[in-house]
Chains A and B, each alone.
Chain A
Amino acid sequence: MSLKQNLHNLKEKYKGTKMAPAFNAIHTFLYLPNEVTHGGTHIKAADDLKRTMNIVIMALIPCLLFGMFNAGYQHYAAIDGSLRTDVLANFFTWDNLWIGIIKVLPLVIVSYAVGLIVEFIFAVIKGHEVEEGYLVTGMLVPLIVPVDTPLWMLSVAVVFGVVIGKEVFGGTGMNILNPALTIRAFLFFAYPTWMSGDKVWVHDAVNRVGTPDAISGETILGSYAQNQEVIYSNWDKFMGFIPGSVGETSTLLILLGAAFLIFTKVGSWRIIVSTFIGAAVMGLIFNQIVAADVITESSKFYGLMNTVWYEHLMIGGLAFGAVYMATDPVTASQTNKGKWIYGFLIGFISIMIRVFNPAYPEGVFLAILLMNVFAPTIDHYVVQGNVKKRLKRTKVKTA
């Protein structure tokens, strides 16, 4: 008997039992189910949620691979600054990749394993199918944490994020906050020393504190926040040869991912574009403030206010947040008009937090979480516009 037939027989056997959702999750991973339409349209389009989620994962793969090389590169370049003179020759090396394999891959594996176990448990308890949302969340999480994040910390955060961020609301499609960012926020507030500062962003920098081999693990944002000079060129920033969370450094690859998401019509171009516009506008406002001599170099906000607006778009997690986080359709605004407002405010507030919060200058995840909460309000007013138009039509008639 073929595999197909065997699995079909097993599915029939498990039907109606507690384990059915767990079995079906694995089964549908191998085979598109044999379900047929009934009671509505007799044919259906080719896309399902798995396919949609899979597209997002594909868009993330370049960032992950780059992040693996970058983990090693930042480590060795921090030890030997001369490596930075010829980046391309020293970037795609086996040594760099090896650090990526031993540091980044475990993050990916733990993120998926822990998250999917939680998902399976909830599916079995609540008797619903295992939903695909975590396939994307599980890939996003390792890309937005520092490379040396301990695996147990990640596990605790993933359990928290999946349960409190998603399952308590009823699972994929019902959550208010982006689950990946909920996980990130939990890590940040629960273990702040591991998630911020000038050591955590480069592999091994934390272990070497106080030893003669100490290396810097500072991000560009951190340097600006302390009004320090930055050694990276705009080329480095755009290409992503800079320290940061695992997968968010390369603006180039993120833009490629954005192009793929927009082309496949999976990601909302409205949100992506408006987030960048919002960030650029806020950046320009700050640049004007500096140009107008409102604040001086002695101000603690000077470094980041003086950062040229387009540089703001390349550093920190702004691009990554705009393309992969803000576009999460469940937690974003759902109306097309609302998406413009939602994206714009994310960009705008991100840069504002960045400038005014020197202790932790990365504002993107906080801005997105904040706008997640306000997205239904934005939608409400957009939809009310439609309702009012309809009421007005009636009044004109009866008047």
Chain B
Amino acid sequence: MSKDIRIKKGLDIKLVGEAEKTTTSVSRSSVYAVKPEDFHGIIPKLIAKEGAVVKAGGALFHSKSDERILFASPVSGKVVEVIRGARRKVLAMKIAADSEQVYEDFGTKNADAMSAEEVKNYLFTAGCWPFIKQRPYDVVANPNQAPKAIFISGYASAPLAADLEYTLAGKEAELQAAITAVTKLTEGKVHVSVGANSNSPLSKLKGVEIHKVSGPHPSGNVSTQIAQIDPINKGEVVWVVTPQDLVVIGELFLTGKFNLERTIALTGSKFNKPQYVTAIAGAAISDLTNNNLNNDNTRIINGNVLSGKQVKEEGFLSYSDNQITAIPEGDDYEFFGWNKPIFNKISTSRALTFSWLNPKKKYDLNTNTNGEHRAFVVTGSYENVFPLDIYPMQLLKAFMYKDLDEMEALGGYEIAPEDFALTEFICVSKQPHQNIIREGLDLMREELG
């Protein structure tokens, strides 16, 4: 029995720079980097020291809390540099890629014939465990807990998100192999969501419950879908995998190789030609954006404009994202910007802002905050873009004053920082909602486990 999900509350932020459906492959980078911060909550213990030679899929580091959880190198080559920050925290490991890629051979497997434990161990060894995230807390899944269900959102509703129908085309076999494997990991169901009229490869998967999703962003956020299908209660755990990571898992089962090559959308107004490219995770940003980026006062983002991370052109592609966004920086003053009528920015109010006149228009927004940080004043606006059955402002305040009982009671187990991206976007007081939520979730994880 599948359940359709219709979301009414939310906001589609329409921006210029949607990726055109053509894919080019870019030249291979000479150096790749893996950043432990891409896996929130993981403290890395190095396995491959500086100078070590690794194959693609070879372990670079493991999690301090569970040494079975390995993190694999996206390419074969030599570890040339371990960049450390304050208190010797590992910020990035750089690997100089071989000209010919050599893959670690983990051996092909038929997930159908495997037990849950065998599937787990296989994913551990091949460095595929970090693709499985858990709720609560939005961190890499703890393999010692049993999830009540596994959720895969195949509907991307974020601004300028990569079209999964396009990027996953032709990956049916990999997806099915991965699904067969992950269904072993839970006693419960595996829920896959697709767009209402989608013809995505995901909609043909077997052994899962398919849900058709419609409505504005954040309908594609997995928390929104979990809340509609099977909400998380205290003491329960669900696991979450993204479709692009499923492809990697699937390919592992079919070929025995760990291959992080994926199709990535280059989006945003600062790309001369927004389009798709294929690249290996950890690649240098400059190689991807080569000759395509207008790099004059530009913000480059790993991911989307709402929840992505800022990255420099000298930086590297993140481990899991399938999108790079480039938008103009907004570091300029605007004369009487607080009271003049505004036509070129998005607003959910009508306070002399006129985006309501033309809901289809695409905007070229920059990174200006459009105002200064203030205490919470306006009420009732977050609720209009927040589809979960949670009081967003009350939860944010509980997360700020860090009352663990309230954080738990108001729904802290059901959320991830990305769920508060839209409320942060429309916040008149310019409060950092996602940071507040992230810090609060980390505290809950520490104190409540």
Residues of A within 8 A of B (CB): 4, 7-8, 28-52, 54-55, 129, 131-133, 170-174, 263-266, 268, 270, 329-330, 332, 334-336, 339, 379, 383, 386-387, 389-391, 393-394, 397
Contact = CB atoms under 8 A, between A and B. Distances in A.
B338 A45 contact: no
A36 B367 contact: yes
Nearest to A380: B394
B350 interface: yes
Given A32-B337, A51-B339, 9 more contacts: A31-B337, A42-B367, A45-B427, A51-B428, A52-B428, A54-B338, A266-B378, A334-B379, A383-B394
Contact of B351 (A8, A51, A379, A389): A51
B367 A37 contact: yes
Contact of B426 (A40, A47, A393): A47
A383 to B, nearest CB: 5
Given A43-B305, A383-B394, A48 B372 contact: yes
Interface stretch (B242-250, B287-295, B430-438): B430-438
B379 A51 contact: no
A171 B375 CA distance: 9
A48 B380 contact: no
29 contacts: A7-B333, A30-B336, A31-B333, A31-B334, A32-B334, A32-B336, A34-B330, A35-B368, A38-B310, A40-B432, A41-B305, A42-B301, A45-B346, A46-B346, A48-B370, A49-B374, A50-B371, A51-B371, A129-B372, A129-B373, A265-B350, A268-B380, A336-B380, A336-B383, A339-B380, A383-B410, A387-B409, A393-B231, A397-B236
Interface of B: 13, 15, 231, 233-236, 299, 301, 305-308, 310, 325, 327, 329-339, 342, 345-353, 355, 365-381, 383, 389-391, 393-394, 409-411, 421, 424-430, 432-435
Contacts of B349: 47, 52, 264-266
A49 B393 contact: no
Contacts of B394: 334-335, 379, 383
B374 A390 contact: no
B329 A36 contact: yes
Contacts of A334: 379-380, 393-394
A54 B434 contact: no
Contact of A173 (B342, B409, B429): B429
B233 A394 contact: yes
A394 B234 contact: yes
B376 A33 contact: no
Given A36-B368, A45-B425, A339-B380, A55 B352 contact: yes
Contact of A49 (B332, B410, B428): B428
Given A36-B330, A393-B231, A133 B377 contact: yes
Contact of A4 (B335, B345, B370, B424): B335
Contacts of B421: 40-41
A33 B233 CA distance: 43
Nearest to A11: B333
A14 to B, nearest CB: 15
A397 B348 CA distance: 38
Nearest to B268: A42
B440 to A, nearest CB: 14
Interface centre among B355, B374, B381 (most CB of A within 10 A): B374
Given A48-B371, A265-B351, A40 B424 contact: yes
Contacts of A170: 375
A47 B432 contact: no
A174 B401 CA distance: 14
Contact of B347 (A37, A47, A339, A397): A47
A132 B374 CA distance: 9
Nearest to B307: A41
A32 B333 contact: yes
B409 A390 contact: yes
B375 A4 contact: no
Interface centre among B231, B331, B351, B421 (most CB of A within 10 A): B351
A352 B327 CA distance: 57
Nearest to B398: A383
Contact of A41 (B347, B393, B411, B425): B425
B432 A43 contact: no
Contact of B345 (A37, A46, A264, A266): A46
Contacts of B371: 32-33, 44, 47-51
A133 B369 CA distance: 20
Contacts of A390: 233, 409, 411
A45 B372 contact: no
A49 B426 CA distance: 11
Given A264-B349, A336-B383, A35 B369 contact: yes
A42 B270 CA distance: 14
Contacts of A397: 233, 236
B406 to A, nearest CB: 9
Contacts of A265: 348-351, 381
Interface centre among A36, A329, A339, A393 (most CB of B within 10 A): A36
B233 A393 contact: yes
B380 A28 contact: no
Given A40-B434, A42-B301, A55-B351, A28 B372 contact: yes
Contacts of A270: 380
Nearest to A330: B377
A268 B234 CA distance: 34
B391 A383 contact: yes
B333 A34 contact: yes
Contacts of B377: 49, 52, 133, 172-173, 329-330
B56 to A, nearest CB: 32
B338 A28 contact: yes
B381 to A, nearest CB: 7
